[in-house]
Amino acid sequence: MAYAAGRPEDVVVALDVGGTGMKCALVRPDGTAVHTERHPTDAGRGPDAVIATILDVAEALAHRARAGGFTPVAVGLAVPGVVDSARGVAVWSANVGFRDVPLRELAEKRLGLPAALGHDVRVGALAEARLGAGRDAGHVLFVAVGTGIAGAHVVDGTAAAGAHGAAGEIGHILVRPDGPPCGCGRVGCLEAIASAAAIARRYAQLSAPNGADDPARTAGAAALPGASEPTGAAGQPAVSTAEVAARAAAGEELAGWVWREAVEALADGLATGQALLDVRTIVLGGGLARAGDQLFTPLRAALRDRLTFHREPHLVPAALGDQAGCLGAALHALDVLHAGGPAGSSAGAGDTLDTEQTRPSDDRQEPL
Ligand SMILES: [Zn+2]
């Protein structure tokens, strides 16, 4: 649970490093941020330059804390991709360009403070469960729906990482055996249908002149008379997910069909999650959750339709926005500190190895 022994002036230097930007903060043990800032990741510069920026930003934050009368007690880092929290190594992270980067050790050496490295979605779940929309729920399933779909199960403030650190990969639950291909190599995964990226991609494919080649179009053809929207270059959705949502809300048939398919698939995935985990609250985050009632109203109904003897969970939007990863990185660092260091950590999020290398993209904080 949360680090309770802190003094009021204690803060954690926290950085959530994504493919496009870093969210940074000085976070008190109670989870309040006394300062926040953002920096571009600019991953195109290469991993060494990104690492240098992370360390520079972290050091500057520690200086800023001291100048403001605070005492930095730890560094909390979160990155996407494959994260070995026990060793503090960013094993593989496509968007950031990391491969076997010992970020924890680098941060400890540079700042002279204990550091912890967590996985972005799992620490985000930790923050939502302790401080955000899942607060007081006890049992929480956090699902981030953005470029991909990933989740984490938090029980009494602790995120379960699984035996191999790969728990919560709800995006790769099979929901449509004859569905579109997924980045993981299989077909019909939840992520291939209901992620924000999949919604835009499917809309583009189905509205393309050759969209009839797509089996999903054939399946939905009866509901799609005269659908013929212009698209961009092959593989490049010409219409954003937000625009698909807007067109669906405006009554456009194709957009409405794609949106409903995504909602139905998400309900299938969440029903599976609820059957397995029996949580009190499901917190939906990521870009798609910003669609608000257009998503939550039909999704709650579709989920209810699928539950028989299972108790219906509260289905709520995330409350911390894109700050969740940063706050969670701080909570994770305090957990590790409180447990006496990485080797003794049993309460933190993302304790061992996450396996997300199959994702086509792993930055889930992008806007809808
Ligand atoms: Zn998959």
Q: Which three-class secondary structure state does DSSP give residue 321?
A: helix
pLDDT tens digits, residue range 23-61? 999 999 999 999 999 999 999 999 999 999 999 999 999
**Pure H helices in the chain:** 47-67, 103-111, 120-130, 191-194, 196-207, 215-220, 241-249, 253-277, 293-306, 324-338
Distance 186 CA to ligand 1 centre (A): 6
What is the percent of the chain with per-residue pLDDT over 70, rounded to a whole number? 83
* Cβ neighbours of residue 48 closer than 8 Å, sequence gap 6 or more: none
Model pLDDT for residues 78-98, shown as the tens digit of each residue: 998 888 888 999 988 878 889
Helix (H, G, I), strand (E, B) or coil at 301: helix
Residues 6+ apart with CB under 8 A from 60: none
Structure tokens at 164: 């191999």
Question: Quick check: 352 pLDDT over 80?
Answer: no
pLDDT at site 211: 54
Distance 192 CA to ligand 1 centre (A): 7
Per-residue confidence (pLDDT) for residue 250, from 0 to 100: 97
Whether the Cβ atoms of residue 65 and residue 11 lie closer than 8 Å to each other: yes
pTM: 0.83
Cα(189) to centroid of ligand 1, in Å?
5
* 340 in Cβ contact with 166 (< 8 Å): no
Ligand 1 mean position to 242 CA, how many Å? 23
What share of residues in the chain are helix, strand, coil (percent, to 5)? 40, 20, 40
Task: Determine the Cα–Cα distance for residues 220 and 226; give it in Å rounded to an integer.
Answer: 12
Q: For residues 225 and 192, give the distance between their C-alpha atoms in angstroms, rounded to a whole number.
A: 24
pLDDT on residue 165: 66
Quick: pLDDT tens for 245-258.
999 999 999 999 99
| Ligand 1 mean position, distance from CA 147 (Å) | 13
Q: Read off the pLDDT band of 15 (50, 70, 90).
A: very high
- Averaged confidence pLDDT in the chain: 85
Q: Which tens digit of pLDDT belongs to each residue from 131-142?
A: 999 998 999 999
Cα-to-chain-centroid distance, residue 132: 15
User: Residue 294: how many CB atoms within 10 A of its CB?
Assistant: 15
Judge whether residue 346 has pLDDT over 60. Answer: no
* pLDDT (0 to 100) of residue 5: 58
**pLDDT at 66 exceeding the cut of 80:** yes
**Residues whose Cβ atom is located within 5 A of ion ligand 1:** 172, 182, 184, 189
- Please name the amino acid found at residue 47: P
DSSP category for residue 267: H
Q: What per-residue confidence (pLDDT) applies to 237?
A: 60
The CA 94 to ligand 1 mean position distance, Å, reads: 16
Q: What percent of the chain has pLDDT over 90?
A: 71
pLDDT at 19 over 90: no
Pairing of strands 139-145, 281-285: parallel
Model confidence over 328-344: pLDDT tens digits? 999 999 999 988 765 43
Distance (angstroms) between ligand 1 centre and the Cα of 190 equals: 7
- Interval 247-273 mean pLDDT: 97
pLDDT at 357: 33
Residue 129 contacts residue 140 (beta carbons within 8 Å): yes
For the segment 174-226, what is each residue's pLDDT rounded down to a tens digit? 999 999 999 889 999 999 999 999 999 999 999 987 654 444 444 443 333 33
The CB-based long-range contact list for 236-239 (8 Å cut-off, 24+ gap) reads 236/204, 237/200, 237/201, 237/203, 237/204, 238/204, 239/200, 239/203, 239/204, 239/207
Centre of ligand 1 to C-alpha 187, Å, is 7
Pairing of strands 10-17, 71-79: parallel
- Whether residue 7 is predicted with pLDDT greater than 90 in this model: the reply is no
* pLDDT at position 69: 97
Ligand 1 centroid – CA 167 distance (Å): 14
Tokens 């290398």 correspond to what residue? 357
Closest CA to 152 of 351, 361, 320: 351
CA–CA separation, 161 and 163 (whole Å): 7
Confidence of residue 236 (pLDDT cuts 50, 70, 90): low
